[in-house]
Homo-oligomer: A and B are copies of this chain.
Amino acid sequence: MLRQYETRRYQMPQEEIKALVREKRAELVRQQLLIKEQALPVFVLVEGWGASGKGTLIGNLIEDLDPRFFHVKKMNAPTEEAKRHPFLWRYMEVMPAAGQFLFLNSGWLSETADAMADNKIDDVSLEQRLRQIRIFERQLKDNGYLVVKLFLQIPPEEQKQRIEKLMEDKDTKWRVSEKDLLQVKKREKYEKLYDRLLEATNTGYAPWNIVDAADKKQALLQALHILTIQINQAEVNRKALPEILYKDYPLLKMPKLSEVPLNQSLSREEYEVRLKELQKKLKKLHNKIYRKKIPVIIAYEGWDAAGKGGNIKRLASALDPRGFEVYPIASPEPHEKSRHYLWRFYHRLPKSGHIAIFDRTWYGRVMVERIEGFCSENDWKRAYNEINEFEKELTDWGAAVIKFWVHIDKETQLARFTERQNTPEKQWKITDEDWRNREKWDVYETAIDEMIEKTSTENAPWFIIQSNNKYYARLQAIQIVIDEIEKRLALPPRKK
């Protein structure tokens, strides 16, 4: 891609460039108002050679923009915290809210190129990363983001000269990194790396734009040109419905909810003995995953009054409190709502070696949001695949992902609702909304059956917890967590 580009240079008189830059800048300012109005999040990734002028270009791009509605982030080497999360986590963290611009100075392209240059990544991990990047960018676009990607290209001699010049002055010397020097020394090797990465992530929904950065003014004009065109195009594109993908994640055959037997019985005595045993076992495993730095994600969904809270409590009390978090998930807050719907879950991912327990999850998208109309039909239909992709990213990262549907039948729910209503200390647990949801039982059941059918992947299967008998359900959940962690521990250790 890069070599090919070299032949396409053109020259323009300085005066003409100046006039055009002025014009395009004014257009970008008008577009910023529109972006705010239309709640469009715009994400601009600026990659390129060392000393190609990424920082300067960004500085020039934003010059007339309202600083309350854009952010610029320089992505340095990942911190210790970032290293204990999935590769794309730190990029998801900074994704702009609706109506905001984000300019990223370097990103996953250079992070990956550097990892390759240092031989820190094997082919399997590389292919995983590239797939994740493509998925990430497609999901952003499908969820209303505009993704603009620029690569600043300068010829080898030019790069060499610029870096030598920076090195000469003690005021600018500190800005030259080891990587920059390496790029000059091994330019051809790096060219091949970049080419491979650019091609692998050059997609219809997020194409690369190679900017000729040998001349700074021309580079600015090109970047402004690309940016304004793509923003105009985004308005149009947003009206088109994204494609609903059914990707090839191997699905497990799952029963319908109505086929799940709920007649288990278990005495309190037996329960207490077994609970102690299982908790003891789980405690030991927690220590192991902590030391082997394996992340564990446990997702709880279930009917109201199915016993999720009590179930989580018995699970959690077997765990070392320094190594887990429970996240009760309610409706999203404004800053969460104005981002990709998976953002708030990404944000709460455990770091490696820790456990995150979600009390309600990202599956809200295909249940309550679907049924109450909080998202469009296209949104929730697309979500099955998006969620499968999300969970695949987690298990590729090395996580165990365990998903529980805590199941009861309609009569049991009624009995528990009635008991809550009649017991003063439990009344806070029952609301009018619970009764309203109960009226929609059948609509929910259809949605849940579809959800379980379409998202029980081999890597992140659903487990239906039979919770008419709460004792039985609690033992069942802990047993499954133990089994799944043991399976995960039995896998060969992962390379980076």
Interface size class of A (residues with CB under 8 A): 35 or more
Interface assignment of A58: CB less than 8 Å from any CB of chain B = yes
Instruction: Please state if B335 and A67 are interface contacts (CB–CB under 8 Å).
Output: no
Partner of A321, one of B59, B68, B320: B59
Q: Which residues of A, 328-347, contact B by the 8 Å Cβ criterion?
A: 328, 333-335
Complex Cα gap A169–B79 (Å): 32
Instruction: Please state if B37 and A67 are interface contacts (CB–CB under 8 Å).
Output: no
Interface assignment of A217: CB less than 8 Å from any CB of chain B = no
Q: Which residues of A, 129-186, contact B by the 8 Å Cβ criterion?
A: 174
List the B side residues contacting A66 at CB < 8 Å. 309, 313
A39 to nearest B CB, angstroms?
A: 13
Interface assignment of A81: CB less than 8 Å from any CB of chain B = yes
Partner of A68, one of B73, B80, B326, B334: B326
Interface flags for A458-470 (1: CB within 8 Å of B; 0: not) read 0000000000000
Complex Cα gap A333–B338 (Å): 13
Instruction: Please state if A74 and B425 are interface contacts (CB–CB under 8 Å).
Output: no
Complex Cα gap A313–B32 (Å): 14
Interface assignment of A359: CB less than 8 Å from any CB of chain B = yes
Q: Which residues of A, 26-69, contact B by the 8 Å Cβ criterion?
A: 33, 37, 55, 58-59, 62-64, 66-69
Interface assignment of A312: CB less than 8 Å from any CB of chain B = yes
List the B side residues contacting A67 at CB < 8 Å. 312-313, 316-317, 326, 357
List the B side residues contacting A64 at CB < 8 Å. 317
List the B side residues contacting A425 at CB < 8 Å. 33
Q: Which residues of A, 57-100, contact B by the 8 Å Cβ criterion?
A: 58-59, 62-64, 66-69, 71-74, 79-81
A354 to nearest B CB, angstroms?
A: 11
List the B side residues contacting A72 at CB < 8 Å. 321-322
Instruction: Please state if B103 and A359 are interface contacts (CB–CB under 8 Å).
Output: no
Instruction: Please state if A59 and B333 are interface contacts (CB–CB under 8 Å).
Output: no
Instruction: Please state if B320 and A55 are interface contacts (CB–CB under 8 Å).
Output: yes
List the B side residues contacting A320 at CB < 8 Å. 55, 59
Interface assignment of A237: CB less than 8 Å from any CB of chain B = no
Complex Cα gap A444–B37 (Å): 30
Interface assignment of A105: CB less than 8 Å from any CB of chain B = yes
Interface assignment of A325: CB less than 8 Å from any CB of chain B = yes
Interface assignment of A428: CB less than 8 Å from any CB of chain B = yes
Instruction: Please state if A321 and B58 are interface contacts (CB–CB under 8 Å).
Output: yes
Chain B: which residue is nearest A330 at the CB level?
Answer: B334
A330 to nearest B CB, angstroms?
A: 9
A77 to nearest B CB, angstroms?
A: 11
List the B side residues contacting A333 at CB < 8 Å. 333-335
Complex Cα gap A73–B323 (Å): 9
Instruction: Please state if B357 and A312 are interface contacts (CB–CB under 8 Å).
Output: no
Chain B: which residue is nearest A62 at the CB level?
Answer: B321
Chain B: which residue is nearest A359 at the CB level?
Answer: B68
Complex Cα gap A69–B326 (Å): 8
Q: Can you list 26 A-B pairs with a CB-CB distance of less than 8 A?
A: A33-B425, A37-B428, A55-B320, A55-B321, A55-B322, A58-B321, A58-B322, A59-B320, A59-B321, A64-B317, A66-B309, A66-B313, A67-B313, A67-B316, A67-B326, A67-B357, A68-B309, A68-B326, A68-B359, A73-B322, A74-B322, A79-B81, A80-B80, A105-B322, A333-B333, A333-B335
List the 9 shortest-distance A-B pairs measured between CB atoms, nearest first.
A72-B321, A67-B316, A67-B326, A74-B322, A68-B328, A333-B333, A68-B326, A333-B334, A63-B317
A residues with CB within 8 A of B: 33, 37, 55, 58-59, 62-64, 66-69, 71-74, 79-81, 103, 105, 174, 291, 309, 312-313, 316-317, 320-322, 325-326, 328, 333-335, 357, 359, 425, 428
Additional A-B contacts beyond A68-B326, A79-B80 (5; CB < 8 A): A37-B428, A55-B321, A67-B357, A72-B322, A333-B333
